[in-house]
Structures are given as C-alpha cells and as structure tokens.
C-alpha cells in the first residue's frame, strides 16, 4: 500500500514542451507523481502536435499543447496562454524544460509551488524550488525524476523501480488502425525501417538502410518503411536503392510472400503520431536513427537497433532495456552537440558513414530470428 502524502496538492501541472523523445521520457516523473498523489488532477503540457499521443495515458487527466508557432505565437499568444493556465489554479507546477519561456510560464501560472532546474534562466526568481540537473552524472529519466527531490515523496514511491519505465498507453483507435494497416502482411517477423530524423546529421546513409532492408526481405522477413510526411523523400530513396541491390530480382519479387502477398509495406507519411507509435509496438525489430520515434519503440519494449552518430549514449538519451542496441563508431569529434546539426561541423560525417551496414544487419537479424542466433552460437 502506497502512503499518500498529507497536504496533497489538488492540481498539478507538468510542463515539457521540448521534442517528442523528451515528452516520452517525462512519463516516469508523471507516473511517480500519480503514485504519490492518486487523487490529484494531473495535467501535462507538451509541444504542439504531441497531445494526441498522450490522450489515453491513465496517469494524466488532461493534455495541453503549447504551439509556439500557432495559437501561442509571439508575446501576445504567450500571454493569452498564460491566462488560460492561471485560470486552472494549479497548486504545483513542475517545469521539465530548460528554456526561459517555460520558466516564465511557471511563474505566470500562479502556482504557489514551482519546481524547476537551477540551471534555468532566472531560476532563483521564477521557481520556489530549484534542482541541479546533474547532466554528467545522470541519465535523462533520472534527471527528470530529480525534480521530485524537494517534494519529500514517500520512500515506497521513490524506490518503486517499475515507475521508472515510460509505460506508454495508446488510444484504442490508434491500436485498431495499426492492426488494419499491418493486416496485409503475411505471418513472419516484421522489421520497421525509419530513415528520418529532425536533425540531418543524425540520419544514417540511405544506402545503409537500403542494404539492411534488402537483406531482411531476402531472409524472408516482412518489412515496413516508416517516415513522417516531411521524411517521405528519404523513405522513397531507400526503397529505390533497395531495388537495385541484392540478388538481381526487383524489390517486388524479393518481397513476394505466400499466395502473391507482399512482405513489404510502405507506410511513409501515412500514419498519425499515435498510429505510428502503435505500429512500432507490433514490430519484432525497429531500425532507426537517434530520434523521437526511437523512444516510442523501446518504451513499448520493441527490440531496437539505434544508429548514433553526432550524439552518444553518455548524453543520457539512449534506448533502454536488454532488447535495445546502440550502433556507433569511435570518432574523436563525437559528440558534436546535444541534438545534432544540419551539416557536419567537420565536413566529413564519418560518425554515420563509417557505420558498417553488414554489422547493422547482423544485429537486426539476431532480433528478427533470435533462434537462429542461438543456433550459430558456439
């Protein structure tokens, strides 16, 4: 039985309007708050476009989108949003995003208890409680959980390891749509191939993705090509290159399944974010760059082969779990930033070009066919 705190807040807001992966990694913090205060109303503020993803999350009462390029654009839009926030009369505000705009919203919320990072601008004035982020010492989930340190939560809650996993609950309609989209595939292991990323330097070569895709199809697996609408050109290039590789057969022939079915499904640009997440949860392996969807996959315990170039595991954002692999090469210039860049600062892009497609395929193959990997083991 979890002890419920005395003087529990009636209404809590958690604000993390950074990228998709950051919002997913905030779920352990939210789950811990819910375990500590089961009767409180708990709202989550996320980046514009992300709200539908968390609509079915049982720990959250309401999800609000902060669209800084839309309705909340500019000083006037920000002020109007702050008035809406203040009208909700929060008792506690937790700011999980390091930006001056986010810190100002905490102050404008009117919440009497406001927790944020000590490294944030004007933290001494905008927050009632400041917590050191301890970036070098901690992984991102633990950095976020550190925001709870001033709250004196019950030990039974803080020591519950199960709360540290970002359990993702998806809308029923998204799950049903994913099942419908994948229904044409014949039985067999399914590989998801996602060549995109917001940051260009985080993208592995299309030739590398194409080779692994071709290998998977020739090995008898099913494959799903995934991309956001903005990444559809990259997905098409991977499909084109895969058609020119391998044993000489056209890609449609290499992907031919029993009874004339196809083991290849192109979903690039065809899924909403919740449906993409639901598709990722049904894969036997997901080949991806370091990206937001990567977190959607491993959070659902989908085996992940993640390709890291300008970023490194030490930054704290790598996928977790025994089924997750990070593929990377040693380069003295890594990491070159927290997120990546539009172009390689050194001009050579070796961190991604040097990733061996055959080594990546071996990792993917072991996830698609684990029993074969066991047979090959000495």
- As annotated, the residues of the chain forming the CATH 3.40.50.2000 domain(s) are 11-164, 172-376
Predicted TM-score of the model (pTM)? 0.93
The residue-averaged pLDDT of 232-256 equals: 87
* pLDDT for res 71: 81
The residue-averaged pLDDT of 305-327 equals: 96
In this predicted model, what pLDDT tens digit does every residue of 68-87 receive, in sequence order? 888 888 899 999 999 999 99
Contact at 8 Å (CB) between 150 and 115? yes
Question: Which of 198, 211, 190 shows the shortest CA–CA distance to 294?
Answer: 198
Question: Which of 92, 90, 89 shows the shortest CA–CA distance to 33?
Answer: 92
* 295, pLDDT greater than 80: yes
* pLDDT for res 373: 61
Distance separating alpha carbons of residues 100 and 347, to the nearest angstrom: 32
Exposure of 362 by Cβ count < 10 A (0-12 exposed, 13-18 middle, 19+ buried)? Answer: middle
In this predicted model, what pLDDT tens digit does every residue of 246-255 receive, in sequence order? 666 788 888 9
* 243, pLDDT greater than 80: yes
Domain 11-164 is in which class?
alpha beta
Tell me if the domain spanning 172-376 has CATH number 2.40.110.10.
no
* 5, pLDDT greater than 50: no
């Amino acid at each position: 039985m979890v002890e419920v705190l005395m003087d529990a807040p009636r209404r809590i807001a958690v604000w993390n309007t950074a990228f998709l992966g950051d919002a997913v990694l905030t779920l352990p913090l939210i789950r811990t708050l819910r375990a500590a205060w089961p009767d409180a109303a708990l709202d989550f503020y996320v980046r514009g476009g992300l709200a539908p993803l968390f609509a079915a999350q049982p720990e959250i009462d309401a999800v609000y989108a902060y669209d800084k390029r839309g309705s909340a654009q500019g000083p006037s839009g920000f002020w109007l949003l702050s008035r809406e926030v203040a009208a909700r009369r929060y008792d506690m505000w937790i700011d999980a995003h390091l930006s001056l705009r986010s810190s100002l919203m905490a102050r404008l919320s009117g919440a009497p208890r406001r927790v944020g990072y000590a490294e944030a601008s004007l933290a001494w004035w905008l927050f009632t409680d400041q917590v050191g982020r301890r970036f070098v010492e901690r992984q991102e989930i633990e950095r976020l959980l550190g925001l709870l340190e001033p709250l004196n939560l019950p030990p039974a809650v803080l020591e519950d390891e199960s709360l540290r996993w970002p359990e993702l609950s998806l809308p029923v309609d998204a799950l049903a749509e994913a099942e419908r989209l994948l229904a044409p595939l014949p039985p067999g292991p399914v590989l998801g191939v996602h060549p995109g990323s917001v940051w260009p330097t985080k993208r592995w070569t299309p030739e590398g993705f194409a080779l692994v895709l071709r290998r998977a199809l020739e090995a008898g697996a099913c494959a799903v090509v995934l991309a956001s609408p903005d990444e559809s050109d990259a997905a098409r290039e991977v499909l084109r290159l895969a058609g020119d590789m391998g044993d000489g057969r056209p890609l449609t022939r290499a992907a031919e399944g029993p009874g004339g079915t196809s083991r290849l499904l192109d979903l690039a640009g065809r899924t909403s974010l919740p449906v993409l997440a639901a598709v990722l949860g049904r894969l036997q392996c997901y080949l991806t760059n370091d990206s937001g969807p990567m977190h959607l996959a491993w959070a659902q315990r989908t085996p992940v082969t993640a390709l890291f170039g300008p970023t490194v595991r030490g930054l704290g954002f790598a996928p977790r779990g025994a089924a997750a692999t990070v593929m990377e090469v040693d380069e003295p210039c890594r990491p070159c930033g927290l997120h990546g860049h539009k172009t390689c600062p050194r001009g050579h892009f070796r961190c991604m070009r040097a990733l061996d497609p055959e080594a990546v395929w071996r990792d993917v193959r072991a996830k698609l066919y684990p029993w074969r990997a066991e047979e090959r083991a000495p």
